[in-house]
Amino acid sequence: EVQLLESGGGLVQPGGSLRLSCSASGFIFSDYAMSWVRQAPGKGLERVSSLTNGGDQIKYAESVEGRFTISRDNSKNILYVQMNVLRAEDTAVYYCVKDGGDHGRILYPEVWGPGTMVTVSS
């Protein structure tokens, strides 16, 4: 069974930093693209960032470009996102998502973790 578990969320002040991690199990992590998707309270889903299985193709939403950095460690089956210069509008539940595309491509979100809450507030 595919399992994804996010960690690292919490309360941070505006301008601060946070690193989220996602531990993956139940599938060959190095075969699949992964993404971070967020959902602000009471709002819809927003793709934050994605990367292919080997990390050679990386995409960011315009809203986080230059502030967030996605990465992965295929030897440890862990996905990361480093979030810097956080703003109030970054407050959201952040989901780790396994992609359903074959050959490690980014195509569509398939399996979701339970999410971790990030709150940016003074």
Residues contributing to the site for other proteins (CB under 8 A): 33, 37, 44-47, 50, 52, 57, 59, 61-62, 95, 100, 105-115
Spatial contact of 39 and 92, defined as CB atoms under 8 Å apart: yes
Taking alpha carbons only, the member of 19, 13, 24, 4 closest to residue 81 is 19
- Minimum distance from residue 106 beta carbon to other proteins (Å): 4
Nearer to other proteins, 13 or 25 (CB): 25
Nearer to other proteins, 56 or 122 (CB): 56
- Minimum distance from residue 14 beta carbon to other proteins (Å): 25
